[in-house]
Structures are given as C-alpha cells and as structure tokens.
C-alpha cells in the first residue's frame, strides 16, 4: 500500500528503471548545473567588464566543447556507458574547481569542462531513456522529467548568486560539487548499465565525420536538430545575457539571478504543455510556440536597456513558451532515430547545445559592436520565425 512506504520512493524503483528514476537523476544533475548557471556569466562579466568579451570567450570555449561532444561516441564504444556517465559528473566537479580560481584561464577551463560534462551526461542519459522508455510513453515521460527539474532550475540560479554575493565566491561552486557527488552516488545505486537484457553486442568504431554525414542525410533528424537548436539559443541567451542586462542597467547582481530563477519556474508547466502537445499535435503546438517566442523576443529587444524591467518581463514570457519546446522538442528526435545508431546520432544531435552557444555568441559579438544589448533579442526573434515556418511545413502531421 502506498501509505505504508516509509523509505525514499526511489528505492522501490532501483531494480527496474522507470521514468521516475530518470527524472530523479535529471533533477539532481539540473541542481548541480543550475546552482552556477547565473554565477558563471556574472563572474565572467566581473572579470572582463565587457559584454563583447564575454561573447568571444563563450564562443571559443563552445567550439572546443563541440569537438569533445562529437567524440563522445568514441568513448561509449570503448568504455562502458556507466564510466562515461561518471566521467561527465566528474567533469562538472572539476569545472567548479576551475571557476573557483576566479581567473580568466580558470573561466576558460571551467566553461570547457562544464560543457563536456553536461554533454556527456545528456548523451548517456538519453541512451538510457531510449533503452527503457517505450516510444508511446515518451511525451508523458519527458514532461515528468522536466517538471522534476523545476525546483532545481527555479531555486538554483538565485541561490547560487545569493551565495556568490553574500557568502563568498567559492560557496556556490562547493554546493554544485556536493550535488554532483550525490548524482554519482544515486547513479551507481541504480546500476542502470547492469541489466543483461539490455547489453548490446560489439559495436564498430564510431567515426565522428561519418556520423555527421549519416545524421545530415536524414530529414527528420535535421528537423529535430533545428527545433532543439532554436529553443536552446533562447535559453543560452536568457541565461547569459539576461543577468548581464540586469547588472549592466544597475538592477543588481541578485536581480540577474532572480530573473533566471523566475524563468525556470515555468518548468512547472511541463505537464500542461505535454497535455497540449498530445491534444493538439506536435506540429501545431511547436510551430505556434515558436511564433509566440518571437513576439516575446521582439518585445524584449524594443524595451532593451532603456526599460530593463519591461525587457525582463518579456524574457520571462519567452521562457514560459520555451518550456513547451523543452517538453515536446526532444520527442521529434527520439521517434526518428534508428535503434542501431542511437549512440552515434545522439552525439550529433547533442551538438545543438554547443552550436547554440557558439553561433549566438559569435553573432552577438558583432551586433554588440554597433548596437545596444536589446538588438540581440530582435536578431534571435528572426531565428524563431524561420523555425516556426520550417516546422509547420516539414514536421509530419501524424507525429
């Protein structure tokens, strides 16, 4: 009986991985990353005192992160998946150590290690999900997973900035390391890779270039990548330039952390967006959300540095719509990828995160040379409109 359970709920699921197990792991991983999400761009801005300088540094480190992400299948082929996952969590901890140095070389190393760690964890967890969750249950499972991360992404960014400003520069990084250690402990308890029924036979060595070619020739995978890339561009812009907007306009460091936390509060709407997607269909829902996201970005851009609080409200509205893409977007990839090439295609698909940091930061560095901060939001709105049209035209209606 449910009311007789006295031990933590995840213990009952340890031997049979379910959506709840993956939600728990994702929630703890999210907390480890969310704690320093707002701290890192603020710390980098404090060190460089230049929005353009921040963009250039993020571009360079994201390029290195892209190369490492494409190489992850090589690790998965040669090393048991559980050790690759462990390496990802360890990278998050080493990245925090680098950030704690509070130097530009430390920031560069921390950004790379954080990118590699997040990429490794994302790819391996996605493979586990595809092994254990049926395709017909993906939308519901993904909405549960995103909702579980709500606490982390709502409270984590503000808590991290609060610790950074009130306790000390090292405090948020120590807390992030603590959550990474908890993540590793639970992961090894769940023993996800020890199910003999899911062990695969020998795989041929993965060639990153061949994997990219194989990915590109599949239209449905290209479309899934575009959806993920566009919504990730919004989040990378929101996480980095939202706090910078608050600091640069005199609203304060805590205001930057609070903005990110409030934006992530909308993750509570994951369950709602999951139901909307199942009722209205993915094509109509995803394309419509991209249009609404473009409207919010144009509003934020027009408000800009002249009306920073209005710009913040429009960015928060965009965050509400972007949660729908977090909930539904990955389903388009999982339903399209072939089982025999999941590891290789997932690694290529995962590059949307690296490109969403490389390309916006690269273009923003030029835009900010001639225009104020609000211009980057208007430029990003153009991408959202393009993606909305592309999704409406090419995403299968019966998906």
112 touches 144 (CB < 8 A):
no
| CA quadruple 121, 123, 129, 135: dihedral, nearest 10 | 150
Report the C-alpha gap between 329 and 224 in whole angstroms. 7
pLDDT at 16: 54
**Helices 171-190 and 81-99, packing angle to 10 deg:** 170
Residue 5: strand, helix, or coil: coil
pLDDT, one tens digit per residue, over 213-229 is 888 899 889 999 999 99
Within this chain, domains 15-195 and 207-398 share the same CATH topology: yes
pLDDT over 90 at 346, yes or no = no
pLDDT at 202: 44
Of the ranges 83-97, 356-370, 384-398, the best mean pLDDT one:
83-97
24 touches 247 (CB < 8 A):
no
What's the rounded mean pLDDT across residues 263-271? 74
Residue 122 in tokens? 């994302």
CATH assignment, 15-195: 1.20.1250.20
pLDDT at 7: 38
Report the C-alpha gap between 225 and 216 in whole angstroms. 10
Q: Would you call 208 exposed, middle or buried from its count of C-beta atoms within 10 A (0-12, 13-18, 19+)?
A: middle
pLDDT at 312: 92
Of the ranges 5-19, 142-156, 328-342, the best mean pLDDT one:
328-342
pLDDT, one tens digit per residue, over 154-193 is 788 888 888 988 898 899 999 999 999 999 999 988 877 5
pLDDT at 182: 94
CA angle, 329 then 333 then 336, to 5°: 140
Domain ranges of the chain: 15-195, 207-398
pLDDT, one tens digit per residue, over 52-64 is 788 788 878 878 8
Of the ranges 61-75, 150-164, 383-397, the best mean pLDDT one:
383-397
- Of 3.40.50.720, 2.40.50.840, 3.10.450.630, 1.20.1250.20, which CATH number belongs to 207-398? 1.20.1250.20
């Amino acid at each position: 009986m449910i009311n007789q359970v006295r031990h933590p709920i995840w213990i009952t699921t340890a031997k049979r991985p379910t959506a709840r197990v993956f939600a728990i792991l994702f929630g703890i991983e999210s907390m480890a990353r969310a704690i320093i999400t707002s701290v890192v761009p603020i710390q980098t801005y404090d060190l460089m005192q230049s929005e353009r300088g921040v963009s250039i540094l993020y571009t360079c480190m994201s390029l290195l992160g892209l190369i490492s992400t494409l190489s992850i299948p090589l690790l998965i082929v040669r090393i048991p998946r559980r050790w690759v996952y462990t390496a990802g969590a360890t990278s998050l901890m080493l990245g925090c150590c680098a950030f704690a140095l509070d130097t530009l070389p430390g920031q560069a190393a921390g950004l790379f290690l954080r990118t590699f760690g997040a990429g490794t964890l994302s790819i391996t967890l996605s493979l586990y999900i595809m092994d254990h969750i049926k395709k017909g249950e993906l939308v519901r499972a993904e909405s549960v997973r995103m909702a579980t991360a709500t606490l982390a992404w709502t409270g984590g960014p503000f808590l991290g900035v609060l610790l950074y400003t009130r306790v000390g520069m090292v405090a948020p990084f120590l807390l992030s390391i603590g959550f990474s250690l908890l993540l590793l402990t639970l992961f090894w308890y769940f023993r996800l890779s020890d199910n003999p029924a899911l062990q695969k036979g020998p795989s041929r060595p993965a060639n990153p270039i061949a994997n990219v070619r194989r990915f590109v020739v599949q239209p449905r995978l290209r479309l899934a990548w575009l959806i993920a890339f566009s919504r990730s561009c919004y989040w990378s812009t929101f996480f980095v330039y939202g706090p910078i907007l608050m600091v640069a306009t005199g609203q304060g460091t805590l205001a930057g952390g609070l903005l990110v936390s409030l934006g992530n509060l909308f993750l509570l709407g994951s369950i709602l967006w999951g139901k909307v997607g199942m009722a209205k269909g993915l094509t109509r829902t995803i394309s419509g959300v991209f249009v609404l996201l473009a409207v919010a970005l144009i509003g934020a851009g027009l408000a800009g540095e002249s009306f920073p609080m209005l710009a913040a409200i429009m960015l928060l509205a965009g965050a509400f719509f972007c949660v729908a893409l977090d909930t539904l977007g990955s389903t388009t990839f999982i339903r399209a990828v072939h089982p025999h090439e999941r590891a290789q295609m997932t690694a290529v698909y995962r590059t949307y995160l690296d490109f969403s940091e490389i390309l916006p930061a690269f273009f923003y560095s030029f835009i900010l040379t001639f225009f104020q901060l609000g211009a980057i939001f208007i430029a990003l709105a153009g991408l959202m409109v393009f993606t909305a049209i592309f999704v409406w035209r090419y995403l299968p209606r019966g998906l």
